[in-house]
Amino acid sequence: MPPRDWDASSYDRMSDPQLAMARDVIDRLDLRGDERVLDAGCGTGRVTEVLAQRVPDGKVIAVDGSQKMVDETRKRGITAFTADLAELTLDEPVDAILSTATFHWIPYHERLFARLHAALEPGGRLAAQCGGAGNVGNVQAAIDAVDHPALRGWDGPWNFATPAQTTERLQRAGFSDVWAWLQPWLVEPEDPKQYFTTVILGSHLERLPEEDREPFVDAVLAHGTHANYVRLNILARRR
Ligand SMILES: C[S@@+](CC[C@H](N)C(=O)[O-])C[C@H]1O[C@@H](n2cnc3c(N)ncnc32)[C@H](O)[C@@H]1O
């Protein structure tokens, strides 16, 4: 299935938590300042903008599966193009790849990691963070409790992997020096309704009849307005 489009302007307003989570991931790339870096799954480019400040003598390229997200990123003056990361090919390999809050939206991590490996120069580094095993467990429990008929029998949109699965998949794709670990991160959004609608439940809502969408979000929020994120951090290097 191709990646879905997003409500980019709402995501831009709601994504303070994602920007906060991304800062440590950027730090882990330990950039000199002259590298070519890919932001894989750039969203509206808020994280990409911070990344670009770290490579004043280098270059940032941004990729996202959603045209609306790419349009927002370009408004920030960043070179961006639309592609499914699981099918990614770059004209020129990069020295490093950053990816935040994206891999768990992609069903086939084996294929994804193979494409990212091919996009890196030998010795190139990957620093990523996405939802990992147990991510937003309280929200999933609320979704299950609400039990909307249109969602029954569906596995859901997320691929929350464990560190062990991820380490094995990265090594099989040809990466070395692999580190993968989980990190709990509580998010209490200022505007829970808009945040859940845009950032967490977008794929669920697409499966519901229009008139059920707002009541569904309200019903999920009745179980709690916070989200217990569990982030999967990833560091790896192309041999
Ligand atoms: C939650 S946003 C994260 C954006 C940004 N990295 C951040 O941290 O704010 C997830 C992004 O992944 C993108 N995405 C999901 N599946 C994708 C795929 N298969 N290929 C490319 N981008 C994808 C979405 O379009 C969306 O912009």
Question: 198 CB less than 6 Å from ligand 1?
Answer: no
CATH number at residue 53: 3.40.50.150
Residues 6+ apart with CB under 8 A from 79: 59, 60, 61, 62
Does residue 26 have its Cβ closer than 6 Å to ligand 1?
Answer: no
Of the candidates 25, 27, 51, the one whose C-alpha atom is nearest the C-alpha of residue 38 is 51
For residues 212-231, give the mean pLDDT. Answer: 98
In a domain, 131, yes or no: yes
- Residue 2 vs residue 112, higher pLDDT: 112
**Which residues is 38 bridged to in the sheet?**
61, 97
Helix (H) or strand (E) holding 126: strand 120-131
| Angle value at C-alpha 195, between 86 and 99, nearest 5 degrees | 30
Tens digits of per-residue pLDDT, 148-207? Answer: 999 999 999 999 999 999 999 999 999 999 999 999 999 999 999 999 999 999 999 999
Would you state the pLDDT for residue 32?
98
Distance from the alpha carbon of residue 19 to the mean position of ligand 1, in angstroms: 13
Convert 88-102 to b/e letters by CB count within 10 Å (16 or more is b): bebeeebbbbbbbbb
Residues pairing with 96 in the sheet: 37, 125
The answer to the question of residue 51 being in a domain is yes
23 falls within a domain: yes
Question: Is residue 174 left, alpha or beta, with left meaning phi > 0 and alpha meaning psi from -120 to 50?
Answer: left
Residue 177 lies in a domain: yes
Name the phi and psi angles at 147, rounded to 5: 55, 55
Helix (H) or strand (E) holding 111, with range, is helix 109-119
* Containing structural domain, residue 68: 8-138+157-193+228-238
State the virtual CA torsion across 2, 6, 8, 35 in degrees, nearest 10. -30
Q: 130 CA to middle of ligand 1, Å? A: 10
- Asked if 84 and 131 touch (Cβ cutoff 8 Å), the reply is no
Answer yes or no: is 116 within a domain. Answer: yes
How does residue 4 score in pLDDT terms, banded at 50, 70 and 90?
A: confident
Q: Assess whether pLDDT exceeds 80 at residue 2.
A: no
Distance 220 CA to ligand 1 centre (A): 23
Q: Looking at the domain assignment, is residue 152 inside a domain? A: no
Cα–Cα distances (Å) from 199 to 13, 79, 153, 205, in that order, read 10, 24, 22, 11
Q: Note whether 234 and 165 are within 8 A (CB).
A: no
Q: Is 131 in the pocket of ligand 1 (CB under 6 A)?
A: no
186 C-beta neighbours (distance < 10 Å), count: 10
From the CB of 40, is ligand 1 less than 6 Å away?
Answer: no
139 lines ligand 1 (CB under 6 A): no
Q: Is 117 among the domain residues?
A: yes
Integer Cα distance of 127 and 233 in angstroms: 8
The reply to whether 35 falls in a domain is yes
- DSSP state, residue 87: G
Which residue type, as a one-letter code, is found at position 212?
D
How many domains does the structure of the chain reveal?
A: 1
* Res. 214 pLDDT band, cuts 50 70 90: very high
